[in-house]
């Protein structure tokens, strides 16, 4: 049996790869650091760890299981045309990303409401100006939050927002577990109502055909003038041109964005220089705990595969999550 392991950015990846080799000496583990190496090694590989290209997938004659090292599988399902109709099982690493991403959401919100980015600039400039901030901070207590998709990330965000005294509501495409921290969970037919009512609208949905450009110009126009939007899961769900216009025209109060449709964003993107928008480089999930958690999922799934047990976190290749 061969496992083809493709190198990903985490610092713990290679030691973990070596650990697997020592745990399973009868399995042939191969590390591919380039596409060319993948093409050379994949024909007889049974297991693939990483994000395969269509070319690599089409050369895989013995593939049984692909494990996505992340949570969103759109990068795979969009790239590999024959995956959905194949018998290859696709699993992902849902779970470990939720806590750091939810922390990031609240961190961005607090940065906005307490102008922490400006205070950091003051510190670097050795500037002490108490009255600059007089009567300018915003409290989260008593404010409302709407969450698009109450999955692992959405629930983690909801728990934290509830801890700050916020009233939390959500919409989701399917039947989801209602947690105590969320007052109401509605179907997607209530999305417009949710957007129009809340003070903070948080996008935690996966990127699928159904969610692509879901928050379009019309829906951005439903946001209250003093509302703010947080995009934490995937770019392409929110119409970025319409969002930029809304921010530039002050038709909404602000935004915080960790994920964009095109990454990195262009040098001339208006999002770089907006006073009412903060951005981060799609890095919200990268805690040390997350990295270990994702590797542990693969380790457990490999054990299950070898023992012919059901996988953790099998994805719906057609639905895209």
pTM above 0.85, yes or no: yes
**Sheet of 277-279, strand order:** 184-186, 167-171, 144-148, 200-203, 228-231, 254-257, 277-279
Q: Are residues 76 and 216 in the same domain?
A: no
Contacts of 153 (CB under 8 A, 6+ apart): 97, 98, 101, 102, 204, 232, 233
22 and 143 share a domain? Answer: no
pLDDT at residue number 9: 57
Residue 67 has what DSSP assignment?
E
Q: Which domain holds residue 66?
A: 2-95+288-306
**Quick one: 42 and 124 in the same domain?**
no
Q: What's the gap between Cα 310 and its chain centre? A: 25
190, part of any domain:
yes
Residue 314 lies inside a defined structural domain of this protein: no
Residues 14, 131 within the same domain: no
* Any domain includes 321: no
Residues 158 and 186 in one domain: yes
Catalytic residues: 234, 263, 282
Whether residues 108 and 228 fall in one domain: yes
What is the Cα–Cα distance from 229 to 273, expressed in whole angstroms?
17
CATH number, domain at 144?
3.40.50.720
Residue by residue, pLDDT tens for the chain (321 residues) are 999 999 665 656 778 888 999 999 999 999 998 999 999 999 999 999 999 999 999 999 999 999 999 888 999 999 999 999 999 999 999 999 999 999 999 999 999 999 999 999 999 999 999 999 999 999 999 999 999 999 999 999 999 999 999 999 999 998 888 899 999 999 999 999 999 999 999 999 999 999 999 999 999 999 999 999 999 999 999 999 999 999 999 999 999 999 999 999 999 999 999 999 999 999 999 998 998 999 999 999 999 999 999 999 999 998 888
In a domain, 187, yes or no: yes
* Same domain as 239, residue 125: yes
pLDDT score of 175? 86
Residues 141 and 49 occupy one common structural domain: no
The whole-number pLDDT of residue 14 equals 77
CB 45 within 8 A of CB 2: yes
* pLDDT for position 30: 93
- Report pLDDT for 188: 97
pLDDT in the model for residue 16: 86
In a domain, 315, yes or no: no
Distance (Å, whole) CA 118 – CA 315? 42
Assigned domain for 244 exists = yes
Number of domains in the chain: 2
Distance CA 133, CA 118 (A): 10
pLDDT, residue 319, reads 86
Do residue 228 and residue 134 come from a single domain?
yes
């Amino acid at each position: 049996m061969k496992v083809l392991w493709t190198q990903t950015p985490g610092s713990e990846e290679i030691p973990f790869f070596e650990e697997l080799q020592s745990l399973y000496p009868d399995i042939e583990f191969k590390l591919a650091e380039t596409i060319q190496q993948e093409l050379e090694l994949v024909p007889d590989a049974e297991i693939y760890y990483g994000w395969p290209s269509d070319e690599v997938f089409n050369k895989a004659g013995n593939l049984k299981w692909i494990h996505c090292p992340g949570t969103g599988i759109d990068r795979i399902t969009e790239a590999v045309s024959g995956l959905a109709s194949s018998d290859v099982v696709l699993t992902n690493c849902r779970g470990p990303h939720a806590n750091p991403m939810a922390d990031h959401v609240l961190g961005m919100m607090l940065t906005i409401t307490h102008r922490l980015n400006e205070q950091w600039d003051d510190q670097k400039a050795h500037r002490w100006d108490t009255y600059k901030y007089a009567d300018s901070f915003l409290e989260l207590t008593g404010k409302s939050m709407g969450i698009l998709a109450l999955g692992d990330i959405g629930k983690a965000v909801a728990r934290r927002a509830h801890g700050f005294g916020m009233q939390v509501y959500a919409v989701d495409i399917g039947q989801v577990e209602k947690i105590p921290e969320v007052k109401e969970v509605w179907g997607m037919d209530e999305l417009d109502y949710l957007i129009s009512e809340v003070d903070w609208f948080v996008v935690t949905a996966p990127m699928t055909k159904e969610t692509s450009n879901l928050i379009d110009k019309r829906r951005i126009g439903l946001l209250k003038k003093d509302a703010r939007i947080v995009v934490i899961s995937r770019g392409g769900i929110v119409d970025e041109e319409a969002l930029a216009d809304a921010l530039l025209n002050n038709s909404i109060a602000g935004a915080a964005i960790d994920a964009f449709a095109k990454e990195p964003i262009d040098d001339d993107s208006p999002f770089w220089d907006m006073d009412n928008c903060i951005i981060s480089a799609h890095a919200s999930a990268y805690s040390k705990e997350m990295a270990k958690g994702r590797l542990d999922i693969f380790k457990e799934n490999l054990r299950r595969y070898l023992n012919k047990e059901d996988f953790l976190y099998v994805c719906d290749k057609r639905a895209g999550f």
